Amino acid sequence: MSKEFLIATHNMKKRDELYRILSPLGIDVKTADQLGIEITDVEETGETFYENALLKAQSGCDESGMPCVADDSGLAVDYIAGAPGVYSARFSGGHGNDEANNKKLLKILADVPVEERTARFVSVVCCVFPNGDVISARGECEGYIGFEPKGDGGFGYDPVFMVGDKSFAELSPEQKDALSHRGNALRLLAEKLTAYFG
């Protein structure tokens, strides 16, 4: 029972995370590039992770005629009132400049003691079907912001997001999937999809 789903992202690392978790369900996650189609890069105008994930999944489904999965995720740092939140990818001004985003965050927290550096990664994953059905799931992972980047794996804020004594960027993909916000959201989505396909 293989099902092809479009994922509304050009980020292959994100696609790989989705693939690892959804492929056991017989779901083959493909990017638009892999399918040889073009989809619009949706402007993320939502005020919540859910709104942005839904915007992207709805647009991808409408344009491809396929079930489409999209996630919107980000980092919420308690010391700066939950920022950068939905603006995580463009925290430093441009979009997706991981190094600049991490530098800005570390600068803001430069003199903040470890006990006040609590943070969580949040991911909301939406799946929109051509018949209009929507399934969504939210996952979180608690941690804290380190004092310097560590590790060379992962992407985004992974080098500065600490769980215990390791950053996300120091974990193997399997270790990260077991803990991560996206892993938690996708496992919940997988449960909901299993029930949906019955």
- The two tokens of residue 154 are 């992962």
What value does the mean pLDDT take over residues 147-173?
95
Q: In the chain, pLDDT over 90 holds for what percent of residues?
A: 75
What's the CA gap between 43 and 46, in Å, rounded?
9
- The two tokens of residue 51 are 């709104």
Nearest to 101 by CA among 114, 109, 110, 92: 92
Structural domains in the chain, sorted by start? 3-197 (3.90.950.10)
Catalytic residue set: 72
What does the pLDDT read at residue 107? 97
What's the CA gap between 70 and 35, in Å, rounded?
16
What's the CA gap between 126 and 72, in Å, rounded?
9
Tell me the pTM.
0.90
Q: Give tens-digit pLDDT for 123-147.
A: 999 999 999 999 999 999 999 999 9
Q: Give tens-digit pLDDT for 14-58.
A: 888 888 888 888 888 899 999 999 999 898 899 999 999 999 999
What does the pLDDT read at residue 15? 85
Q: Is the peptide bond before 84 cis (omega within 30 degrees of 0)?
A: yes
How would you classify the pairing of strands 118-128 and 166-167?
A: unpaired
In this structure, are residues 48 and 54 in contact, taking their beta carbons and an 8 Å threshold? no
